[in-house]
Chain A
Amino acid sequence: MSTDDIILEEATSGEYKYGFTTNIEQEIAEKGLNEDVIRFISAKKNEPDWLLKYRLDAFHIWQKMEEPNWAHVNYQKPDFQAISYYAANKKKKKLKSLDEADPELLRTYERLGIPIEEQKILAGVAVDFVMDSESVFTSFKKQLAEVGIIFMSISEAVQEHPELVKKYMGTVVPPRDNFYAALNSAVFSDGSFVYIPKGVRCPMELSTYFRINAENTGQFERTLIVAEDDSYVSYLEGCTAPKRDENQLHAAIVELIAMDRAEIKYSTVQNWYPGDKEGKGGIFNFVTKRGLCKGVSSKISWTQVETGSAVTWKYPSCILKGDNSIGEFYSVAVTNNYQQADTGTKMIHIGKNTRSRIVSKGISAGRSENSYRGLVQINKTAENAYNFSQCDSMLMGETCGAHTFPYLEIKNKTAKVEHEATTSKIGEDQLFYCNQRGLDDEQAVHLIVNGFCKEVFKELPMEFAVEAQKLLEISLEGSVG
C-alpha cells in the first residue's frame, strides 16, 4: 500500500460524530399514506381549506407518478406505506427565551457544538430551530419584524399571512414537477417562510438548523423565500442527524422568488447521517430546490456543502426569467464509504442578458459514487445569455467513482456557453511538498482539499465556512494518511 492509500484509508474511516438521539415526547401519525393521513396532518396544523385541497390535489398527482430512476444512484426504494408522515413535539407552547426550552434540546445544541446563545449575540444570527417537523424556537423575530421582515415557520405563516403563502407557494416548484415534489406538496410538515419587503436589506443572516429525530419519520420541509423589489437576504440552512440504522427519507422543497433587483443567497451545509462503513443506514436526501429570478436584474445564488446522506439527489436551480438576472451555483459534494450523490444544478435562461455561473467540486473516497448532473438551457428569448460551468472532481482511492453529466441546450445564437470539467487525484508530489514543510499526510490532505474547495467556501458566510471546513475534515478524516 502506498502512502497515499494509507492516508486515504485512515481518513475514510472517520466516524460520524453527531449520532445520538434526543428523547422528547413526540406525536406521530400512523404509518402509511392515504387521504385520511393528509386530512389528519392538515387538521393537526389547523390549515385552511385551500391548503388541504392543495395537498389532496398533489397527492392525486403523486399517485399517478412513478419514482424516477435516471439518477446515477442505486438504493432500496423506500416503502411509502411504512413511513409515518407526521411527527410533532407534544409539548407545544411558545417560548420567549432559551431558558424555557426543553433542557434536552439545549443539550442537543451543546453536543452539536453550536452554542446558540453565543451565536445569537456574537454572530447576530436568528435561529429557527426545527426539531423534526415543528418549529419550536424562533428568535430575533421581533427585531426582524421592525423592518417588516417576516421570518417564521411555514405553519405559522399559513395562519398569519395566508395571502402571501397562497400567492407564492407552488409557483416555482408545482406539485407535478417531479415525484418527490408531489409527495412533499401532499404531506409537507413544516419549514421556514421568509418575506423581505421592498427595499429592505435583511440586517442579519437568517438561519435554520434542521435535525431529523423521530424514528421512521420522513421529513418533508417546505421553505419559501420571497424577496420583493430591491431587497436582499442571505439564508443559511444546516443539518446534522442522529445515528440510526434504518434509511430515512427526506424530501424537501425550497422555493425562492426574487423580484426586481432583489438578491437571495441560499447556503446549505448538509451533514445528515451517511450510513456506516458498510453502507448500512443513512438518510435519503431527495430535494427539489429552485429559485425564480422573476424581476429584472435579480440574483439568486446557491451555495452548498454536501457531506452527509447515504443517497443525495439534489439540483438547486435558477430560472432566469427577468432580464439581466443572474444565477449562481457553488457546490462542494463529498462522498465517502458507500455514499452516493447525484447533484448539480439547472440554469434556465429565459430573459435577455441573463448570466449564470456554475462551480462544482466533487470529492469521492471509499466506495462512493459522486456525480455532477447539470442543465444549462438557453431559450430562444434569452438574447446575449452567458454561462460558465466548471466541474472538478477529485478521486481518493481506487474503488470510488466520479462522474459528470452536463446537458447544454442552446436555442439562441447569441448565447455564450462554456463548460469545462476535470478529474484528478491528489498528486504524490503535492503531498511530498507538504511533508517537506513539516505537515503530516493528514494535514497535507486537508490543506489540498481545502484549496480545491476554496472557490466554493469563499461564497459561504464566515461562520458557515468555518463549519464547512470542519465538516470536510470530519468526513474525510483518516481517508488519507
Chain B
Amino acid sequence: MTTTSADKFEEAFSKLKKSESSIEAKSFRRFQKMGIPNRKSEAYKYSNLSYFKNLKPDTSGNIPHKLPDYFKHDYLKDKNLLVTVNGIFAESLSQFAEDEDGIHISCMCDARKEFRDIVEAKYNTTSSDHPDAFSEMNTAFAHCGIFVYAQRNAQAKKPIVMLHLAYKQDAGSIACQRNLIVLEQNSEVEIIEDYINLDEEEAFNINHFSEYFVEKDARLKVNVYQEESNKVHFIGNKFFELSERSNLKVTAVNFQGKFVRNNFRVILNGEHAEATVNGVFINENEDHTDSRILIKHNAAHCESFQTFKGILDDKSTGVFNGKVYVAEGAQKTNAFQSNKNILMSEEAVINTKPELEIYADDVKCSHGATCGQLDENAIFYAQTRGIPRDKAKKLIVFAFAQEVIQAIDNQDFKNFMERRLVHNLGLAEYSTHETVQSGIKQ
C-alpha cells in the first residue's frame, strides 16, 4: 500500500468513529497490517492488484430515484426483489412478497437491533482462519447491506433476487457491501444475485462480502450473474458454512468485466452435507477473471462437486484456483473437481491450479483440468453439415458453456442465462433456434 492510499483509508476510518474494541477496528488494524496483497501472495499470484492501491472507501450514498429499464426483464417477474446501491440496501426500490412466512429480510443496521443474537453469533465469524485483506477491508468499511433470515422450517415461496447496482460512486473509491444470510434448520431459500452498472461509462469498484450459514437440513441455492462493463473492478468474497445434512448449490456465471475476482469458500462442518459450486466465464478484450474456490471438508460423509469452465478471447486472462481440503477425520469424503478452459485467441492466457490437500485416508477425491482450443474436427463436422465456420465455432462454445448453465435449477433464470449467452457469443444473428431467437430481443 502506498502511503497516500493508507492515509486515505486511515482518514476514512477515523471518520467512522468506531471504538478500538469494535469488530470494525480490529479488522481495520488487520487490514492495515496486510495492505493490498501483491503477486508474492499465493492467493493473488496471477492477479495484479496495483489498481486497488490508490482507492479510498466510498461514502457517496447516492440512490437513483427510479429503476432502470433493466428491471423489466422476464426473469425478475414474480420474485422477491432486493436492491442495493453501492452496497447499501435500498428499501424504497425493493419489493418483497408479504406472504413469505418465516423469512425475514431487512438491512443489516435494522437486523443488528431486531435480530441481535443471530447477528452477533454469526457476523464476521467465517473469515477468521483464512485471513484475506479484502474481507478485512470490507468488515472495517461495510455499508448497511442485506440481511436474510429463514426461520426453522421456513420455505421461501419465491426466489430472492438481489440486484446489486453501482451508481455514481465517489471518484477513485471502492464500495464495501456486506450481506449476512442465515438459514435455520430445515429451511429453504433460493437466491439470485445480479450485478448491474447503471452507467456503463463510469468506473466502479466493489468489494463484496457475503456470509451464508446453512444449518441442519437446510437447503440454499445461490445463482450469481455478473456481466460487468470494462470499467469495473470487482472483488467478491462469499463464505459458506454448512451443518449436518445441509445442501448448497452455487452457480456463478460471469460475462466480461475488467477485473473480477470471486472467492468462494465452503466449509462443510456437519456430516452428510453436500456442496456444489459451478461456474462459467467468458472473457473478452482485456478482461481478467480470477475464481478461487476452497471447499473444506471438516466432517465425515460429505460430498462436494465443482465444475468450472472458462472461455477466453482477445487479450483476456483467466485464473482458476480450486482447492479441496479434507481435514483429519473427515472420512468417507467424496470430492470432485473439474476445470476446463478454451483459449480462442493468440493472446489469451489461462492460469489454473486445481489443488487437493488431504489428511484422511478413506476418501475419494479427484480433480481434472484441461486447456485447449476448439476442436478442428468438431468445427469441420459442423461445416460439412452446412453451418458456416464462424457459426460452428460459436455453437461449440455455446455447448461448452451450456454444461454449467443447464445445471441451473431455476427455469426463468436458466432461460435468461441462455439468452445472455447467445447474445454474448454473437449467435443471435444466426437465429433459428428458439432460444437464439429470444436472444435477438435482448
Contacts and interface: CB of A to CB of B under 8 A. Distances in A.
B31 to A, nearest CB: 23
A414 B347 CA distance: 11
A416 to B, nearest CB: 5
Given A399-B328, A423-B365, A410 B371 contact: yes
Nearest to B354: A406
Nearest to B346: A413
Given A417-B370, A420-B367, A404 B349 contact: no
B358 A423 contact: yes
B367 A421 contact: yes
B115 interface: no
Interface in B341-363: 341, 343-346, 348-363
A416 B372 contact: yes
B173 interface: no
Given A408-B351, A424-B364, A403 B346 contact: no
A416 B356 CA distance: 22
Given A398-B329, A403-B355, A406-B369, A413 B363 contact: no
Contact of B365 (A416, A417, A419, A422): A422
Nearest to B369: A419
A413 B360 CA distance: 38
Nearest to B326: A423
Interface string A54-96: 0000000000000000101000000000000000000000000
B366 interface: yes
Contacts of A422: 365-366
Interface string A407-447: 11111111111111111110000000000000000000000
A401 B353 contact: no
Given A406-B354, A421-B356, A411 B349 contact: yes
A418 B363 CA distance: 23
Given A398-B328, A417-B371, A418-B370, A410 B357 contact: no
A405 B364 contact: no
Contacts of B361: 395-398, 400, 425
B359 A401 contact: yes
A402 interface: yes
Contacts of B370: 416-419
Interface residues of B, number: 35
Contacts of A398: 328-329, 331, 360-362
Given A398-B329, A406-B355, A413-B345, A419 B364 contact: no
B308 to A, nearest CB: 13
A410 B328 contact: no
Contacts of B341: 410
A415 B373 CA distance: 7
A393 interface: yes
Given A417-B370, A417-B372, A407 B343 contact: no
Contact of B372 (A411, A415, A420): A415
B358 A403 contact: yes
B353 A407 contact: yes
B434 interface: no
B152 to A, nearest CB: 36
Give the interface centre of A393, A401, A404 by most chain B CB atoms within 10 Å: A404
B354 A412 contact: no
A402 B362 CA distance: 12
Contacts of B359: 399-401
Interface of A: prevailing SS: strand
Interface string B366-410: 111111110000000000000000000000000000000000000
A408 B322 CA distance: 12
A87 B356 CA distance: 42
Given A395-B361, A398-B361, A423-B358, A408 B369 contact: yes
B42 interface: yes
A257 B219 CA distance: 58
Contacts of A400: 359, 361
Contacts of B352: 407-408, 410
B355 A417 contact: no
Instruction: Specify which of B345, B361, B367 lies most central, judged by the most chain A CB atoms within 10 Å of its CB.
Output: B361
B48 to A, nearest CB: 15
A379 to B, nearest CB: 10
A404 B355 contact: yes
B329 A410 contact: no
A408 B373 contact: no
A418 to B, nearest CB: 5
Contacts of B343: 410, 412-413, 415
A424 B373 CA distance: 32
Given A417-B372, A423-B358, A425-B361, A405 B353 contact: yes
Nearest to A424: B364
B351 A410 contact: yes
A395 B363 CA distance: 9
A406 B353 contact: yes
Nearest to B335: A423
A317 B387 CA distance: 45
B349 A410 contact: yes
Contacts of A407: 351-353
Contact of B366 (A399, A405, A421): A421
Contacts of A405: 353, 355
Contacts of B349: 409-411
A400 B356 CA distance: 14
B351 A403 contact: no
Contact of B364 (A402, A403, A423): A423
Given A408-B369, A413-B343, A403 B353 contact: no
A163 B341 CA distance: 47
A117 to B, nearest CB: 45
A408 B363 CA distance: 25
A402 B328 contact: no
Contacts of A396: 361
Q: Which of A400, A404, A418, A423 has the most CB of B within 10 A?
A: A423
A404 B345 contact: no
A415 B345 CA distance: 11
Interface in B14-71: 42
Given A401-B359, A410-B341, A419 B350 contact: no
A419 B355 contact: no
A425 B372 contact: no
Contacts of B328: 398-399
A385 to B, nearest CB: 10
A417 B353 CA distance: 12
Nearest to B321: A407
Nearest to A70: B42
Contacts of B366: 420-423
A419 B361 CA distance: 22
Contacts of A412: 343, 346
Given A408-B371, A413-B348, A419 B329 contact: no
A420 B365 CA distance: 11
Contacts of B372: 415-417
Nearest to A370: B358
Interface of B: 42, 328-329, 331, 341, 343-346, 348-373
Given A412-B346, A413-B346, 14 more contacts: A395-B363, A398-B331, A403-B355, A403-B357, A404-B357, A406-B354, A410-B343, A417-B369, A418-B369, A419-B354, A419-B368, A420-B369, A422-B366, A423-B356
Interface of A: 70, 72, 380, 393, 395-425
The 4 closest A-B pairs by CB, nearest first: A413-B343, A395-B361, A404-B356, A423-B365
22 contacts: A395-B361, A397-B361, A398-B361, A400-B361, A402-B356, A403-B357, A404-B355, A405-B355, A406-B355, A408-B350, A409-B349, A413-B344, A413-B345, A413-B346, A416-B372, A417-B371, A418-B368, A422-B365, A423-B358, A423-B364, A425-B361, A425-B363
